[in-house]
Amino acid sequence: MLRNERHVPSNQPPPPDPTDRRYGTDAATIRATRPLPEQADVVVVGAGIMGLALAWELSRLGPRRIVVIERSYLCSGASGRNGGGVRAQWSSETNVRLMKESIEICRSFATRMRINVWFRQGGYLFLARDESMVRTLEASVQLQRAHGLPTRLIDAAECKAIVPQLDTTRIIAGSYNPRDGVVFPWPFVWGYARACRRSGVEVHPFTEVTAIDTQGRRVTGVTTTRGRVRAPLVVLATGAWTPQLARTVGLELPNRPHRHEICSTESLAPFLRPLVADLSTGLYVSQSMRGELVGGISNPDVPEGLDTRSSMRFLGLYARALVRTMPVLAGVRVLRQWAGCYDVTPDGAPIVGRVDELDGLVLCCGFVGHGFMMAPVVGRKLARHLVLGEERELFELWNLRRYREGRWLGESMILG
């Protein structure tokens, strides 16, 4: 019923970054043409969207030599393995406030960075199937409206009016914010990479940081597979890989990796404007501008550790939940499946800020699968904090020390 007659394949590997040949996949060429500097003002470890956004924002504030080091190619980690959702529908005031600003950055990103990221504001439609979830949505809608968002709590009939393909038999209510949206992740990362290069930031892919160098209680730089870089400030923006890197200086972090899988279907005729999310299962699905359905679901039964393998269990969970939500999709064909790692903290909130135990070490991790959408605003605020001393309250809130002080935070609207 929804299938296009002319199929647009979506099972191709990620295209090369068109912004610069040096960001391709020829590691030998990169090593030959881009020597690693011996000295920097700041080293950012991790060239995902968080690390690149931070580096670009830092370059606008004054540090003269900023080096970003990435162990693989751009988009090889979580930044290239997510669904691209961008939303302000959260249950904590901090996340609502930050994501309002992040969405505005996304709106102007293509113009400012001169690269199309296919940002479209079709909204997020959250579904509630039980009374406890309705109460969660009621509280979050009240909070969001207090911050000027047009989020509405709607009944099942209004949910179906927005997405006629929904089976609303067991849906009690929903929340809808038309300003939420979706971007195409790869060019978003490439846009930051190109902006970094124009600003004089050095980005070194295919270079793995093996240790953080220290002298006493102070960071002195990093050791990599291509040599050492001396720097007084090192930022770990390495997502789920951060705990193992922090252990090189004896720092134990509470966050842990959790495999999260996504799949993409054949191209269908356009029918789904918002991203649909079901908090009872963690299901989410949106339709790309090429027509594919891209989505995922919570899957607690996965191996521990850094694991990016795909599984049949995920497909079963996702298919059953998707068809229960939109029965018309029962015959749709899945073309591609992939996995990335969520960076999960005990309280569902990020770990960002300076480390008390080691001068010059900054953490920027623990975003529980939602770092991509928060990177534009977090990069901006963290840069201003490090250079100008602003936003002290935010980074005190997110500081690692909160766990030993018993200041756990909370967020109930986490998907996947």
User: For 229-254, what is each residue's pLDDT tens digit?
Assistant: 999 999 999 999 999 999 999 999 99
d(CA 45, CA 68): 6
pLDDT value at residue 19: 44
Per CATH, the number for 21-80+186-255+347-405 is 3.50.50.60
pLDDT value at residue 62: 81
- Along the chain (416 residues), what's the average pLDDT of each consecutive run of 10 residues? 40 43 39 77 98 97 92 94 95 96 96 93 97 96 98 98 97 98 95 96 96 97 97 98 96 96 96 95 94 94 89 95 97 95 95 97 96 97 97 97 94 85
d(CA 188, CA 329): 30
Domain ranges of the chain: 21-80+186-255+347-405, 120-181+258-340
Its pTM stands at: 0.91
User: Nearest to residue 332, comparing CAs of 272, 278, 372?
Assistant: 272
pLDDT value at residue 53: 98
User: For 295-344, what is each residue's pLDDT tens digit?
Assistant: 999 998 888 889 999 999 999 999 999 999 999 999 999 999 999 999 99
d(CA 275, CA 245): 35
d(CA 314, CA 261): 7
C-beta atoms surrounding 223 within 10 Å: 15
Q: What is the CATH architecture of 120-181+258-340?
A: 2-Layer Sandwich (3.30)
d(CA 175, CA 166): 14
d(CA 105, CA 26): 32
